[in-house]
Structure 1
Amino acid sequence: MDSPFKDDALKGKVALLTGGGSGIGFEISTQFGKHGASIAIMGRRRQALDAAVSALASLGIPAIGFEGDVRKPEDARRVVESTFQHYGRIDILVNAAAGNFLVSAEDLSPNGFRTVMDIDSVGTFTMCHEVLKYLKKGGPGRTSSSGGVILNISATLHYTASWYQIHVSAAKAAVDATTRNLALEWGTDYDIRVNGIAPGPISDTPGMSKLVPEEITNKSMDHMTLYKLGEKWDIAMAAVYLASDAGKYVNGSILPVDGGHWLSRPRHLPKDAVKQLSRAIEKKSRTAPVGLPKSKL
């Protein structure tokens, strides 16, 4: 689909993305590049990094990849420094690295729980912490009078509760809390805007292939508000909005991009039966005795 934004919406910006070599992260990388940004991708797999950088370069997008694990502060520091050395500035950080798998709470080991927390929540804070000096107003390489932008990719799982996702729900709740607190502190002190995007079920992503594999017969779309899965493009457009001047007064917000899926519930009554049942209930209510109920004593 064509973007509703101008091609130069992010012209001259440098964006560092964790998890930017695949899935939603790669689509954000691509759309940022198409809108004028230069891209740095951090990931653990060199082969995936090279493939992503090559794909971006084929579109004429300046891109570079750095191996690193967001769970390791030394890796985060090295990648941030390398990005600055390569481009001379950093304007946008997108934390899209994440871990996920289906598991019931009783079968989830503390180590498995900790691993997802380390990648999603601790890794997000670590990257934010390391990039702060380059994003804050007046920091190295900053030519504008404003600070930079941080986008944290979250989820809607923790808004209510989700089957077999206790580890991810806890991690994403921590990410949202981190987003709001940094928006308060760093927005006030350093003019850095910090926002989140909470994707719903997005087609053709590693997350969907893990959570709803082909082996599972799933009827969740029967209850979805818009009756369809989202696309990676939808998340990327939200990211372009929040990272560009179009979102210059948005700070501390978590934007759900899920078609209203987290609001969805199975329909317990067919629509055509609602009116008939409602009339019957109203009629019964009108013919009921008026006054205080009789005591049962």
Structure 2
Amino acid sequence: MLATQYFAKDLFKGKTVFVTGGGSGINLGVAKNFAALGANVAICGRTQEKLDAAAAELRSFGTEVCVASADVRDSAALEAAFEKSRAEVGAMDVLVCGAAGNFLAPAEKLSPNGFKAVVDIDLLGSFNATHSAFEQLNETKGSILYISAGMAYMPHAFQVHVGAAKAGIDMMMKNIALEWGRFGIRANSIVPGPIEGTEGLKRLSDPAEKARLISAVPLRRTGTADDIGQVAAFLASPLASYMTGCVVVCDGGQNLPGSALFNTTAEQVLRAQQG
């Protein structure tokens, strides 16, 4: 259910939203909710086929869409993507740092390159996007949204790389909120729970354990990309104009009981992968 069920359809008319990793999953869901509310949308990612398919979906809302192929680890490529976006759909009002990587790996078997890859995509990529977007956000007095994870504040088995990266993102977000508030720029993080139809849920959980997973979520359901998109729309809107430096958890209460179920099912997934 898109945010148009709850917000005015022209809430972001004349505004531009840039979403890194916007070609699929939660990030595409976020982009679609902004598009449905009238925003021009720019997306970047590494897979042109995914970006083209996502752009077609976004254009169905009648909005202007910019597509740029860029790896968030490459600051020069990001800067070029942001300039392309400015030229095609206007100066950026909202930056969504969503590009991420994840996989299950026991710490003792995780290679330095594997650890670095996730930190580079998630944390360094978010910094690169934030840094490169400053000029436009300063011009528009815009806001930044980071897609974080429960691993940032609660240990999860086989996620040492992700925990380090996401905890870094949340602290970076708070530093940016502290420093850039004087420019009128806000920064907040969103922590999704298990989101239906995403690569993350597919990689990190056992399909056979879905009913058990749902039973452990206090709201007794998995989330949707629209759940996250609606939170993003709220945080970027005038309704949240005095909110900055906040970590907003949208997980149905999943992390309240702890990570024990995740740890058990993740171990089952690892065993299945290893044959």
TM-score in terms of structure 2 length: 0.90
Residue from 107, 116, 119 that aligns with 1:114: 116
Structure 1, 65-74 or 78-87: larger mean CA deviation: 78-87
Letter in 2 for 1:206: E
Q: Which residue of 2 aligns with 1:42?
A: 44
Inter-CA distance 179–266: structure 2 relative to 1 (3 Å threshold): closer
Letter in 2 for 1:225: P
Q: Matches of 2:51 and 2:209 in 1, distance apart?
A: 31
Q: Which has the higher helix share?
A: 2
1:63-82 CA deviation, whole Å, 9 max, x = no partner? 12100000011111111111
Q: Matches of 1:213 and 1:118 in 2, distance apart?
A: 27
- Would you say the 8 A contact 2:93–2:142 is kept in 1? yes
Residue from 163, 169, 173 that aligns with 2:157: 163
Bigger Rg, structure 1 or 2:
1
Residue from 164, 181, 184 that aligns with 2:178: 184
User: Displacement, 1:218?
Assistant: 7.3
User: Displacement, 1:214?
Assistant: 3.1
Percentage of pairs with the same residue: 40
User: Displacement, 1:198?
Assistant: 0.6
- Does 2:246 correspond to 1:220? no
User: Displacement, 1:129?
Assistant: 0.2
Letter in 2 for 1:13: K
Instruction: Summarize the alignment of residues 130-209 of structure 1 with structure 2, pairs less than 5 Å apart.
Output: 130-136=132-138, 139=139, 142=140, 147-188=141-182, 190-209=183-202
Letter in 1 for 2:169: V
Residue from 245, 251, 254 that aligns with 2:244: 251
Q: Secondary structure at the match of 2:108?
A: helix
Q: Which residue of 2 aligns with 1:30?
A: 32
- Equivalenced residue count is 258
- Would you say the 8 A contact 1:95–1:153 is kept in 2? yes
> What root-mean-square deviation, in Å, do the aligned CA atoms of Structure 1 and Structure 2 show?
1.7
Gaps of 5+ in 1: 268-297
Q: Secondary structure at the match of 1:20?
A: coil
Q: Secondary structure at the match of 1:226?
A: coil
Residue from 229, 233, 255 that aligns with 1:236: 229
- Would you say the 8 A contact 1:98–1:119 is kept in 2? yes
Q: Secondary structure at the match of 2:255?
A: helix
Gaps of 5+ in 2: 261-275
User: Displacement, 1:215?
Assistant: 6.5
Letter in 1 for 2:164: A
Q: Which residue of 2 aligns with 1:280?
A: none
Q: Matches of 1:102 and 1:174 in 2, distance apart?
A: 19
- Would you say the 8 A contact 2:9–2:38 is kept in 1? yes
TM-score in terms of structure 1 length: 0.83
User: Displacement, 1:230?
Assistant: 1.0
